Amino acid sequence: MMSLCPNPNPSFLHLHHHRHRHRRRPFFVRSLDAAQSFDFESRAVDRLNAKSKLKIAVVGFGNYGQFLARTFAAQGHTLLAHSRSDHSAAAAAIGASFFRDPHDLCEQHPDVVLLSTSILSAADVLNTLPLGRLRRSTLFADVLSVKEFPRNLLLSALPPDFDILCTHPMFGPESARHGWAGLPFVFDKVRIGESEERISRCNRFLEIFEKEGCRMVEMSCAEHDHKTAESQFLTHTIGRILAKLGPEDVDIGTKGYQTLLELVQNTCNDSFDLYNGLFMYNKNATELLDRLDFAFTELKKELFGNLHDILRKQLFENPEESNELIPVTGQVQPCCWYGSLKNFILKV
């Protein structure tokens, strides 16, 4: 940036003073520091920056909506928010305008409407939006943790002029507490109009995540659901099964056990609605549960199968000893669980 000031060279000032005693002292460029009103370059940069900013309406301003909104706001985008509950204080803290009434929200003509409600409520919430009050071409994006369901929902509910971008940031407030760098961001450009403006709007939205260093992964919604049943749904299921055992921190816990405790905390911090949505709206989830059941039964069979021969010998070859103690791999096991084990073996 430029500012004007008198030439600081004393010899120049001396000569200048004698030759032009009655003229005003000349000014020279001395430093680049602050933008001046006639600085066209900085104005052009400002205009460019303003053009790259989006007006984003976050619909579903709960835990996750607010988490995303904080980063959108930090990047200078204009934020609007709408939710079932009154989150106006949280919105104000982020610098977002909160609208209780979806009509008021839509009349603000956001560039992007981002659906961040629970999976279970997404269809109902979408139905409450007066789509006719939005601009004829608006970009609808979602961050639901399943993808085929919102894809089909948005395709069937939105007018053909609306663009559709299905996304899943594969991280949350817990896993991304140190930033988003390197974390996967899955997206599927389901329907983006061909005009330059619509392509650019979609790209500017994706750039938000690129700027934070996310690993951008473009894949179809179907492929996403197949892969996340095998990974995310499995993780949440194991975390919730472990939670049912009520594991406690112990002073001699191994690192592996600490990892289990963290898994319980991470998965149970998310709402049950979220987990339920992963099950209800991903057709691959049922199969995963069946396979998990099967795997557990197989593992038990393997464990008890190893005892089978030893116990059969005791049961049928030395029956007089079998009601007392069962030596297993060098240890003496109390006979209190022997009855149920015997039953199990007889069944197997």
Q: Give yes or no for residue 137 binding ligand NAP (CB under 6 A).
A: no
Nearer Cβ to ligand NAP (7/121): 121
The pair of structure tokens assigned to 248 is: 């406690």
**In three state form, how does the secondary structure of the chain look?**
CCEEEECCCHHHHHHHHHHCCCCCCCEEEEECCCCCCCCHHHHHHHHHHHHHCCEEEEECCCHHHHHHHHHHHHCCCEEEEECCCCCHHHHHHHCCEECCCHHHHHCCCCCEEEECCCCCCHHHHHHHCCHHHCCCCCEEEECCCCCHHHHHHHHHHCCCCCEEEEEEECCCCCCCCCCCCCCEEEEEEEECCCCHHHHHHHHHHHHHHHHCCCEEEECCHHHHHHHHHHHHHHHHHHHHHHHHHCCCCCCCCCHHHHHHHHHHHHHHHCCHHHHHHHHHCCCHHHHHHHHHHHHHHHHHHHHHHHHHHHHHHHHHHCCCCCCCCEEECCEEECHHHHHHHHHHHHHC
Q: Give yes or no for residue 239 binding ligand NAP (CB under 6 A).
A: no
Q: Give yes or no for residue 98 binding ligand NAP (CB under 6 A).
A: no
Which of 276, 279, 183 is CA-nearest to residue 229?
279
Nearer Cβ to ligand NAP (63/322): 63
What are the C-alpha distances in Å from 71 to residues 58, 60, 176, 246? 12, 16, 12, 35
Stretch that binds ligand NAP, among 6-14, 30-38, 93-101, 266-274 (CB under 6 A): 266-274
**Among residues 64, 149, 233, 281, the one that binds ligand NAP under rule CB under 6 A:** 64
Q: How far is the CB of 201 from ligand NAP (least distance, A)?
A: 22
Q: Give yes or no for residue 102 binding ligand NAP (CB under 6 A).
A: no
**Among residues 54, 56, 57, 65, the one that binds ligand NAP under rule CB under 6 A:** 65
Q: How far is the CB of 98 from ligand NAP (least distance, A)?
A: 10
Q: How far is the CB of 55 from ligand NAP (least distance, A)?
A: 20
**Among residues 11, 37, 85, 329, the one that binds ligand NAP under rule CB under 6 A:** 85
Q: How far is the CB of 260 from ligand NAP (least distance, A)?
A: 19
Q: Give yes or no for residue 228 binding ligand NAP (CB under 6 A).
A: no
Q: Give yes or no for residue 84 binding ligand NAP (CB under 6 A).
A: yes
Contacts to ligand NAP from residues 299-338, by CB under 6 A: none
Q: Give yes or no for residue 267 binding ligand NAP (CB under 6 A).
A: no
Q: Give yes or no for residue 270 binding ligand NAP (CB under 6 A).
A: yes
Q: Give yes or no for residue 117 binding ligand NAP (CB under 6 A).
A: yes
CA 42 from centre of chain: 35
Q: Give yes or no for residue 143 binding ligand NAP (CB under 6 A).
A: yes
Position with the least CB separation from ligand NAP: 172
Q: Give yes or no for residue 240 binding ligand NAP (CB under 6 A).
A: no
Nearer Cβ to ligand NAP (98/314): 98
The pair of structure tokens assigned to 166 is: 């299905």
Nearer Cβ to ligand NAP (128/343): 128
Q: Give yes or no for residue 62 binding ligand NAP (CB under 6 A).
A: yes
Q: How far is the CB of 257 from ligand NAP (least distance, A)?
A: 24
Residues contributing to the site for ligand NAP (CB under 6 A): 60-65, 83-85, 116-119, 121, 124-125, 143-145, 169, 172, 270-271, 273-274, 277
